[in-house]
Amino acid sequence: MHSPRDASSLAVTRILFGLAMLFDIPDERGGASMDRRWGDPRTCHFPLLPTVHALPMPYMALVYAAMWIGAAGLMLGWCFRRCSITFAACYWYLLLVEKSYWNNHSYLFGLVALLLVKSNANCYWSLDAYFDRRQRSTTVPFWNYFVLKYQFFILYFVAGLKKGTAEWLTGYSLPNLGEHWVFTPFKLFLSVSQIDYLVVHWFAFLFDLTVVFWLSWPRTRRVATVFCAAFHLMNIRLFRIGMFPWVCLATLPLYYPYDWPKRVLKKVQIVYNKFLKREVDCDGNEDATADNNSDDESIPKLPTDEKDDDEKSEAQNQSESEEKGETEDALEKCATKKKRTVYFIILYMALQAFLPYSHFLTKGYNNWTSGLYGYSWDMMVHTWETNSVVVRVVDNDRQTQFFLDPYIWTPNERWTRHGDMVYQYAQCIKRNLLQLNEELNFNDQLSTNMSIYIDVWCSMNGRFQQRMFDPKVDLLRASWSPFEAVDWLMPLLSDATSLRGTLDEIREEVHGWSNHSDVIFVADFPGYELENYLPEDLTNVTLSVLGGRVAYQPEVDNHHGQSFVLHADDHMLVAPGTFHKVMNVGRDPAYYMYTFINGTEAMSPREVKPATYLPITKEFARRLAGMRTFFQLVLQSIFQLFFRLPVSIMNV
């Protein structure tokens, strides 16, 4: 682990990773939108640890500024240790204070930052090495490379293991992705469904599972690099996943010889010298040979090299004498330090292999899938479709209730699929409502004795839409623990999984009626009811029961509360622009569907814009605009914080 390896490849990785983080901070870390993300004190945040809280906006801007400076120092190798620690500390603070923005690559970036903190990545091609000879070195310990390569091995290999499930291998995780233009070459000999099944799902499964082995074998390394580069470049166009593909591309050279940058530079220099010599010869310069000889002589700088050799030999002799003078205690301390490093590496390896499968401990973060998305490496394995979210607030003292916009105080919709975040959101709603009561001084004061019920309807991987959490549970009085299962989580109706093939056939048939026809599949538990409102722009709305027994009750004002009991294969026309209820009155789960035609889309056909295949200029301009906005927000916050200037003046 401590044997020397050439430092040039690690230096390139450090530079590219730092550069990627400079663009990641304004984009995925939210630096260009920090005023919206952190500016409103009523915005509900979802920290991983209850003791970690978001700072007010001007101070959060300082956190972003410190993180950006840290990333710049990491890239340049300037005050490397301090800048790396600053970047890693600020980065992990942002992750811990808001887990609703977590992605797998977010967790990866934080881990790479921690690994670079303890590495010697600044000993070569860095400002530290340029200004301080003591930090200059052409080699680094082998473990500097090993831990980084192991981290990306875990990234790929565990992602492949996570894809080895029926959900992925049957093609339900990423449906209809084959329609994207990046798969145009495959459309010459495969249909869209075949691309979804064979290329998107099976090839991705085999790729993640084996790519590191192909990269590590010299005979297949170059071919694997081409496939890996194509894979990540396609992901750049398929998904909005920030700098993750670029970081993966930047770390591909880690699997090549450690001195590959020097080899490349040497070849470039040889080509340049040949080109320069050819150019001089073509000019017919009589002194070309002499000039070339003088240039060749000036390149090696023999006197300087001899002087450097003398200095190196003196330094070597001095170091040897110092080593001889070291005591046995000092040598033992050095050996102990090296052993501790190896033990730490072994512990880190075991931890990274264990965390993706540690969900039997952190049961409170499990839902229909295991664990938080941020550290499981289950990339794209589950596709979620949220149909509706209902937030109901009940004043128990006054016996009144009202409904809230579910996204009024939330930064995104990720919270709707995680029990821990739903629990945190209920607490935040209560806090905001009571604070508004005090500030606005309403005549009808909302009592502190309130209850909050949240009803979330989701579909996972093409299944029926079903409620995810028990809407009858008061979340303000519910219990939640990170080490106990969420008892108010409704189970996934796995019995209906076998019906997904039937759903695909029905969906294809309904979509064939017209360009604006659609279908929604719903499943519900015995003893529960769905209160639904259909917009007026929907036409030919039909409720069809696929299984179980339900009671359909139209809007009370029009039908005097009359109910209709429907069994399997029964149909009922539903009037748009009205409320209705569908109650499961059987003993088993009920399955039904709505088929309809969207009248608004039929009246105003959607304009199809030509696809921009490689918008490199547009993408680069967007990132530069985000960087500019980021700097403006940081400067505004600094002036506001230190000079007490209002934001309006700064905007002017």
How far apart are alpha carbons 68 and 83 in whole angstroms?
9
Q: Where are the alpha helices (DSSP H) in 412-467?
A: 419-440
Task: For the beta carbon of residue 81, count every other beta carbon within 10 angstroms.
Answer: 16
Distance CA 135, CA 114 (A): 20
Strand order in the sheet with 400-404: 400-404, 384-395, 450-460, 466-467
Nearest to residue 364, comparing CAs of 271, 486, 466?
Answer: 486
Distance between CA 526 and CA 528 in Å, rounded?
A: 6
532, 576, 526: which is closest to 552 by C-alpha?
A: 532
Cross-strand pairs, 393: 402, 452
Comparing C-alpha atoms, which of 233, 239, 160, 229 is closest to residue 201? Answer: 160
CA distance 626 to 31: 8
Of 445, 443, 411, residue with least CA distance to 428: 411
Distance CA 470, CA 652 (A): 50
Start-to-end Cα distance in the chain = 57
Please tell me the distance from the alpha carbon of residue 482 to that of residue 491, in angstroms, as a whole number. Answer: 18
Instruction: Give the whole-angstrom CA distance, residue 522 versus residue 493.
Output: 11
514/516 Cα distance (integer angstroms): 5
Question: What is the spatial distance between Cα 30 and Cα 70, in angstroms, rounded to a whole number?
Answer: 16
Tell the residue number behind the tokens 């093939």, with chain if given: 501
Using CB atoms within 10 A of its CB, is residue 383 exposed (0-12), middle (13-18) or buried (19+)?
A: middle
- Reported as type and span, the H/E element at residue 162 is helix 142-163
Q: Which two tokens stand for residue 199?
A: 């290329």
Among 99, 163, 187, 266, the one annotated catalytic: 163
Matching residue, tokens 């009589």 = 286
Q: Residues 133, 136, 138, CA angle at the centre, nearest 5°?
A: 145
Query: Residues with Cβ < 8 Å from 430, sequence gap 6 or more?
Result: 450, 452, 476
- Residue 134 neighbours by CB under 8 Å, 6+ apart: none
Residue type present at position 106: S
Is 163 labeled as catalytic in the residue annotation?
Answer: yes
Catalytic residues: 163
